[in-house]
Amino acid sequence: MIVASALDELRIWRHGSDGDVGFVPTMGALHKGHVSLVQQSRATCDSTAVSIYINPTQFDNADDLASYPETLQKDLDTLEGLGVDCVFVPTYEVLYPDDFAYQVEERGFSNTLCGAHRPSHFTGVLTVVMKLLNLVRPDKAFFGEKDFQQLTLIRNMVDAFFMDVEIVGCPTVREPDGLAMSSRNLNLAPADRQQAPIFREILEKATSDDDARRQLGEAGFVVDYVETIEGRRLGAVSVGAADRSVRLIDNITLEL
């Protein structure tokens, strides 16, 4: 497995790659959800690249960025065990030689749901994903459906800019108790970890979005939003004390 931190290293690897290349962009702290994306790439592509980069431009809260878990060596060991061909581990200076002067902005859907109170979040996401796709030049890129708004925006960006890559959405991977796997789950205090699976249960069983918001509030969550769009109920909540709260997102398909 090649670990590339410089652009020349990545380009040399990509130039020598034959057949279809799959790509899984991550921010590290890998879990079984990431593993499933890599496995899907390995099953459908001739070679697989993964990026590990905690992207500061998508964080609107400095404390949130500082608390994001970093487990680089463990992640590299995991990826090598999965048979990944190349891991791209850039620095800010490598990815942002312009110091974020040039940005990709979407003016509609990105301002709703997770973007309603985080106005720069998806600008950071879309900008870094476009940079990574341009550098790796994959045939397919794999993203989880847990971040459904992100997945939709990336698909639409690729279409809007005529980018020659297929965006593949993969099902949400869950813990045995139903909690959607997320790197942020590592930051949950034990009591909050016990409470967290109720989020998904309420999204699934509530009779309406208003009912879901009410039940979540009564269960002790701070509700950011619950909204159903085209048969999919999406939600975001925070759990835990104010000084250590963790933001959770999830979505479920409603039975019609």
pLDDT tens-digit map of 100-125: 999 999 999 999 999 998 889 999 99
* Alpha-carbon separation of residue 2 from 40, 48, 89 (angstroms): 20, 11, 10
Residue pair 37/45 in contact by the 8 Å Cβ criterion: no
pLDDT tens-digit map of 79-88: 999 999 999 9
Whole-prediction pTM value? 0.95
* Alpha-carbon separation of residue 244 from 52, 113, 162 (angstroms): 25, 22, 42
228's tokens: 């159903």
Return the amino acid letter for 115.
G
Q: Confidence class of residue 244 from pLDDT cuts 50, 70 and 90?
A: confident
Looking at the DSSP assignment, which residues form a beta bridge with residue 2?
86
Q: Once rounded to an integer, what is the mean pLDDT over residues 179-192?
A: 96
First-last CA distance in the chain: 46
193's tokens: 């970890």
Q: How far apart (Å, rounded) are the C-alpha atoms in residues 84 and 75?
A: 11
| 117 catalytic residue (yes or no) | no
Which candidate in 15, 34, 117, 121 is catalytic? 34
176's tokens: 């045995």
Q: How far apart (Å, rounded) are the C-alpha atoms in residues 59 and 184?
A: 13
With tokens 């090649």, the residue in question is 2
- Domains for the chain: give ranges and CATH numbers: 2-170 (3.40.50.620), 183-251 (3.30.1300.10)
Q: How far apart (Å, rounded) are the C-alpha atoms in residues 137 and 154?
A: 15
pLDDT at 256 over 80: no
147's tokens: 């971040």
Mean pLDDT, rounded, of the chain: 97
pLDDT at 237 over 70: yes
Looking at the DSSP assignment, which residues form a beta bridge with residue 239?
246
What pLDDT score does 142 carry?
A: 98
Return the amino acid letter for 214.
R
Q: In what order do the strands lie in the sheet with 246-253?
A: 222-229, 232-239, 246-253
The b-or-e profile of 18-50 (16+ CB within 10 A means b, else e) is eeebbbbbbbbbbbebbbbbbbbbbeebebbbb
Provide the H-helix boundaries in the chain.
Answer: 7-15, 32-44, 62-67, 72-81, 92-95, 121-136, 148-160, 190-195, 197-205, 209-218
pLDDT tens-digit map of 127-158: 999 999 999 999 999 999 999 999 999 999 99
Strand, coil or helix: what is 106?
coil
